[in-house]
Amino acid sequence: MHTVSILAYDRMSGFESGLAAEIFGMTELSEAFSAGIARPWYTVRLCAETPEIGMIGGATLTTPYGLSDLAAADTVIIPSVRDVNVPPSPELLEAIRAAHDRGARLVSICSGAFALAAAGVLAGRSATTHWIYADLLRTRHPMVTVDPAPLYVDEGSVLTSAGCAAGLDLCLHLVRSDHGAKVANDVARRLVVAPHRAGGQAQFVDSPVPEPTTDGRIAASMEWALEHLDRPITLDEMAGRSSMSRRTYLRQFASATGTTPIKWLIEQRIQASLALLESSSLSIEQVAARVGFESPVTYRHHFGRSVKTTPSDYRNCFAERSA
């Protein structure tokens, strides 16, 4: 089974490590997968430098897993660091490097990028962290290309995410990469969260909490659009569903989501197509039409920009995994 080791440290918040443990340690999914319904699920281990650590709020965490278990995992998650101004211990950095040298997948959430950078595994790569730490990470580690905008950055074997909630998006992205869109969507439904927010979505929005009436109207238009992805949808239609002028709708949509209606629609069409590519025998042309693209050429163009591969190669990849 694929082992996911999550770093725990003294005075940590339980949120970052907890969200990763919740996703990769879902008991009911683990039982279903081990029964042969699908590929094996994950084994989760909380690893710490000492057997017992204190957490924010007065709780005490006791774990039998140490840094040697962290280094031996298939996926290593550094949920954050205690203090960005204090260098990680040499022992932790050695464990991260050992995991990297073995070919493990390294993942950071929020300030955890500082530990990966200090271990040298981010040198020459693009990475992100919480926007309030971006300048410090860039100054301290000039060999890292720090991008404060996206929710997460996937560099293959090394992945980084922004603030704590963005770690949820990144963990779902990992499940999607390992098990496909259908399973990732099932996990999202169990957590009652959005099934997919693209890594390139802005992590900082000028008005993260819009006026309730506006937010409700924007949400209603988005829900309507999701129900009609199989046909062309215009900006004027979405604005009309919100009872707003085109100009007001554009402004309010950007305020609520950090993107534009057109970009959001394209991403939703792409995501809707993934399950069809994975589980149906529809041709690429049929998939494109089913999710509302005006032509296969347009579909392939946007698919390549979003997923960094072609629809055919994506389908072949998941066909190989199923085999």
Q: Check which CATH number belongs to the domain holding 139 and give it.
A: 3.40.50.880
Mean pLDDT value across residues 270-292: 91
Confidence of residue 297 (pLDDT cuts 50, 70, 90): very high
Judge if 159 and 78 occupy the same domain.
Answer: yes
Instruction: Render pLDDT for 140-179 as a digit per residue (tens, 0 to 9).
Output: 999 999 998 888 999 999 999 998 888 998 999 999 888 8
- For residue 201, tell me if it sits in a domain: no
CA–CA gap between residue 67 and residue 210 (Å, rounded) = 43
Confidence of residue 208 (pLDDT cuts 50, 70, 90): very low
Q: Tell me the longest C-alpha to C-alpha distance in the chain.
A: 60
Confidence of residue 72 (pLDDT cuts 50, 70, 90): very high
- The identity of residue 189, as a single letter, is R
Eight-class DSSP state of 308: S
The pTM of this model reads 0.68
In the chain, % helix, strand, coil (3-state, to 5) comes to 50, 15, 35
- The identity of residue 4, as a single letter, is V
Q: Cβ–Cβ contacts within 10 Å for residue 167, how many?
A: 28
Q: What angle do CA 51, 57, 59 make, to 5 degrees?
A: 30
Judge if 11 and 72 occupy the same domain.
Answer: yes
Which run of H or of E encompasses 212?
helix 212-227
Which residue in this structure is represented by tokens 């007065």?
58
Judge if 185 and 229 occupy the same domain.
Answer: no
Q: Is the pLDDT of residue 115 over 90?
A: yes
- For residue 94, tell me if it sits in a domain: yes
User: What is the count of structural domains for the chain?
Assistant: 2
Judge if 90 and 154 occupy the same domain.
Answer: yes
Which residue in this structure is represented by tokens 């993260």?
208
List the domain range (segments joined by +) for residue 244: 210-322
Judge if 86 and 167 occupy the same domain.
Answer: yes
Nearest by Cα to 253 from 316, 204, 205:
205
- For residue 35, tell me if it sits in a domain: yes
Question: Of 111-120, 203-212, 253-262, where does mean pLDDT reach its minimum?
Answer: 203-212
Instruction: Render pLDDT for 23-46 as a digit per residue (tens, 0 to 9).
Output: 998 866 655 554 444 567 899 999
For residue 39, what pLDDT is reported? 60
- For residue 196, tell me if it sits in a domain: no
For residue 286, what pLDDT is reported? 95
79 and 20 Cβ atoms separated by less than 8 Å? yes
Judge if 153 and 39 occupy the same domain.
Answer: yes
CA–CA gap between residue 30 and residue 33 (Å, rounded) = 5
Judge if 159 and 292 occupy the same domain.
Answer: no
Look at the chain and count its residues.
Answer: 323
